[in-house]
Each structure stands twice: as structure tokens, then as C-alpha cells.
Amino acid sequence: MDKEDFKKQAGEEAVKLIEDGMTIGLGTGSTVEYTLRKIGQMIQEGFKIQGIPTSIRTKRIAKEEKIPLTTLDEHPEIDITIDGADEVDSNLNLIKGGGGALTREKIIAYNSKKVIIVVDDSKVVKALGIDFPLPVEVVRFGWTSTKKTLEAFGCNVALREIMKGEPFITDNGNYILDCEFDYIENPEQMEININCIPGVVENGLFINLVSEVIVGSQQGILTLEKEKTVV
Ligand code: 5RP
């Protein structure tokens, strides 16, 4: 079994938490794609749910799978969101945004009664930032100044590009700055500090948003749980 098998295990396990009639936040990435494909099979078998996609990529997959779609504006109460992550720590805090969808993902997670994260075991880390740079979505205007401000937090900052000289553009029309730390000592404070910088739209630290993490591993499915803090 390899990493792809672990992603599939976790992604498919998550559908067991879905009940008929639910409104579901549909996350972004290759792990949650297994969830979306499985939901597609359930729809064919007569299951009735509606999904709110967190990205254009996920919307396309959901349409392929004939998952009925709605919007957060039409359905502001989401029963459950299933999404992937780039890093998970022991408090179930996350780094997300490897796919560049962090802003919509965070809005959807924040407005969900339950947030379920699906990962393979390589994503579980001792400290956030240790393996994966923190993605920060920024408006294009003045982005080099925003980059300098972020560098003052002691990280190396790179503009995300799809190829040399061609910046990655988010679904919201913005840039992503990837911030490489040794590790993030105080993720709660860092999330707040970064979001105070003018020009920052959102950052990929997800703090106290997650209810449960489903981990695919050589040992089978592991479940990490924590009560969601209501803000
Ligand atoms: C997209 C994300 C993804 O959920 C995260 O990057 C994990 O993706 P994958 O399951 O492909 O590793 O945050 O913005």
C-alpha cells in the first residue's frame, strides 16, 4: 500500500458521516476527490444531499458526479464539511491552501457544524510549518510590499507560480505567497497577525475549526477527534 491508497482510505471513509438530506461543504484536493467520487456513487443509488464547492476545481468534479449544488448564500447552515489538509498538528489545527483554495475553504469551514479532514499519515506533524510553507492569499495591488511585511515574521516568502514568470491566480483573482518557516511556534497568534496586514485576504492556518481528522495509514484508518470551539 502506498500514499495514494492511504488518501483513498481516508477520503472514502468520510462518507460514512454523511446523512440523507444534508448540506455538505465540498473541499478541494486529491484526497477529498475520493470523497466526491464516492458521494457521486451514493447519489446514483438515490441518496439526496446538496453540496457547496470550495473551488472551481471541486465544482467541476461535483458536476461530473451529478452532485446537486447550492451556495452558502442560499444555504448558510452547512451540516458537515469534508476537506483535505497539507499539515495537521496534535490540536487538530491545520495548514491548508496547497491547492490555492484556502479562502473559500476557510469560509465554508467556519460556517459548518462539523468539519472533517481527510489526510494520509504523512500530513500529521509535530508542529505546523515544519514540512509545508504557509499559503497566504493576497490582493495583487502592492503585493511586493505585502511580501516584505510577511518576511518580517522570519519566513522566506515566494510568489506561487504555475510556471516561471506566470503567477498562480486564485479563484478569487488573487496571488498566493508561500511562507516558509522552520516551524510556526504560535499558530493561533500567527493566524491573527497575518490577517492584520493590509493586502492579505486570508491565510492557510485553520485554528479551532476541525471536529475530526480521518487519517489513512499502513495500520488502517485512524481517527483524531476534538470538540469544535464555538466562537
Ligand atoms: C487546497 C487544500 C487541500 O485540501 C490540501 O492542499 C490537500 O490537498 P491534497 O489532498 O491533494 O494533498 O487545502 O487549497
pLDDT digits (tens, 9 = 90+) for 58-69: 999 999 999 999
Instruction: Give me the pLDDT at residue 227, please.
Output: 54
Of 84, 14, 31, 78, the residue nearest 51 (C-alpha): 78
Instruction: Give me the pLDDT at residue 136, please.
Output: 99
Measure 97 CA to ligand 1 centroid, in angstroms. 6
Among protein residues, the one with the nearest Cα to ligand 1's atom 8 is: 29
Q: Which atom of ligand 1 is nearest to the CA of 30?
A: 11
Q: What is the pLDDT of residues 76-127, one digit of tens each?
A: 999 999 999 999 999 999 999 999 999 999 999 999 999 999 999 999 999 9
Q: Across the chain, what does the average pLDDT equal?
A: 97
Q: Are 43 and 50 in contact, with CB atoms under 8 Å apart? A: no
Handedness of CA 107, 112, 116, 118 (dihedral sign): negative
- For residue 149, count CB atoms less than 10 angstroms from its CB and return exposed for 0-12, middle for 13-18, buried for 19 or more: middle
Asked if residue 230 has pLDDT above 80, the reply is no
Cα angle value 54/223/64 (rounded, 5°) = 30
Taken in order of first residue, the domains within the chain and their CATH numbers are: 3-121+207-216 (3.40.50.1360), 134-203 (3.30.70.260)
Measure 113 CA to ligand 1 centroid, in angstroms. 21
Instruction: Give me the pLDDT at residue 226, please.
Output: 76
- For residue 25, count CB atoms less than 10 angstroms from its CB and return exposed for 0-12, middle for 13-18, buried for 19 or more: buried
